[in-house]
Structure 1
């Protein structure tokens, strides 16, 4: 498995970030997103995080980059027939990446956050919901109630990797994100993003906000009325301030 670790030029130990790459039907990018960026971003974030004092790890997920063969569809079908999912495999690999990062001597294990946009966003808050050692999470452009997406017919915009049979009988997306409470969470969404239609976002936000009752200051929502499926300047500024506030010692 290929991974990229971007570190500050100053001496460690440093706070860490597990940055989960996006999909965007760009199977060629994979872990190159850390240093090379992608269209949905204002620019590459790896160098920015390093200048701010964060060591950032990104691993290449199955069906992307050097792991592009077998492709996403073939991998997902093989797992679904066995009662598993590609999203589950991705989460397992990201969990191992987090453990690897936390075990490094040059990383402050108690100050590791997670970041992602699009596919990386969903996997980011799902992972944070089940791994209590993650200090905080910021995610952009992939937060909505999945049942609402199905009702609107927008669910087919997601790749087959995300299909987890029976998930909606167990928990809604807003409830999963709510399991992160009271740890800090930043949600970035655009109302013109086809993956985050306002009606489906409102349902999810209501569920997540209920979980943060009594810890409202730990939940940050950046909602752009004219935003699409891409990072905005407001999201970038809020994300950098968020990690500085919650991962850098005062």
Structure 2
């Protein structure tokens, strides 16, 4: 298992030491009956960008926490703000919903999004690929540093950290959880598919260039990567009408994940809807919240 993680870390360009993530609170942006959210000024490796830190309003001590990795959706203006303002593909803002369940959450603006929307995804991806790196690897590095930040925070129970993401955030979420054993529970929606099957179907180009990681398929498939999360708890939400995860590609990945849980044990929840597409439905949203509340205790 460790050898597989080490191999994947190298494929993602994460085999060296990572800079620490440092945060300064800027403003309180939500303060209601269930959620208090702060905008943070984050510093990482010489860069500064925005993040949102959501807490239950009546927090009395260390609490479970979820690292939320925001979606793409060609909405470079939204970024981390989805946790408090939502986005079209989400049923409700996840940070607020988790806070109502007594769970804190953190979400960073990924490169090219939100406060970092000045450079295009294409330009940044090409520059990194020429250096032998990838934009996905950069995003994973920052989120791994975010796990460090959460684990050290006095209001976080370090042994109860989860990860959630939809679409772009989903793929980055299960990739990150596969690499980081401290993640106790992972929930991802609308982005588990076998890349080789997507290529055969001609549907791989629906995904963004940020996902292009040279040599990744020679190391592992998405199903095998998500399978590395076992025996830790995992929730997978899918809609059969989603063109980014057509059933033929989703089934290959799901079978590999099931095989990993059959071999290693652990809790695997698959929430699949025949009539939904690339969207978090009400049923999926509530099933995910129930899963995360139970998995993080």
1:136 counterpart = 2:185: yes
- The one-character-per-residue Cα deviations of 1:177-232 (angstroms, maximum 9, x if unpaired) are 00000000000000000011001111111111110015566010001011100001
Residue 157 of structure 1 corresponds to: 206
Q: Give structure 1 stretches of 5+ with no counterpart.
A: none
- The one-character-per-residue Cα deviations of 1:60-90 (angstroms, maximum 9, x if unpaired) are 0000011012111100000011111000000
Residue 272 of structure 2 corresponds to: 223
1:36 counterpart = 2:85: yes
- 1: CA distance, partners of 2:204 / 2:154: 42
Would the aligned equivalents of 2:230 and 2:266 in 1 still touch at CA under 8 Å? no
Would the aligned equivalents of 1:209 and 1:216 in 2 still touch at CA under 8 Å? no
Residue 47 of structure 1 deviates from its aligned partner by: 1.2
TM-score of the superposed pair, with normalisation by structure 1: 0.97
1:188-199 aligned at under 5 Å gives the runs: 188-199=237-248
Would the aligned equivalents of 1:186 and 1:242 in 2 still touch at CA under 8 Å? yes
Q: 1:4 aligns with which of 52, 61, 73?
A: 52
Residue 233 of structure 1 deviates from its aligned partner by: 1.8
Q: Which runs of 4+ in 1 moved over 2 A?
A: 214-217
Q: 2:253 aligns with which of 159, 183, 204?
A: 204
Tell me the SS of whatever aligns to 2:188: strand
- The one-character-per-residue Cα deviations of 1:148-187 (angstroms, maximum 9, x if unpaired) are 1111111101111110111111100000000000000000
Residue 294 of structure 2 corresponds to: 245
TM-score of the superposed pair, with normalisation by structure 2: 0.82
Tell me the SS of whatever aligns to 1:115: strand
Residue 168 of structure 1 corresponds to: 217
- 2: CA distance, partners of 1:75 / 1:212: 36
- 2: CA distance, partners of 1:65 / 1:23: 11
Q: Give structure 2 stretches of 5+ with no counterpart.
A: 1-48
Q: 1:145 aligns with which of 181, 194, 202?
A: 194
Tell me the SS of whatever aligns to 2:154: coil
- 2: CA distance, partners of 1:217 / 1:65: 36
1:65-144 aligned at under 5 Å gives the runs: 65-144=114-193
CA RMSD between the two structures: 1.0
Tell me the SS of whatever aligns to 2:187: strand
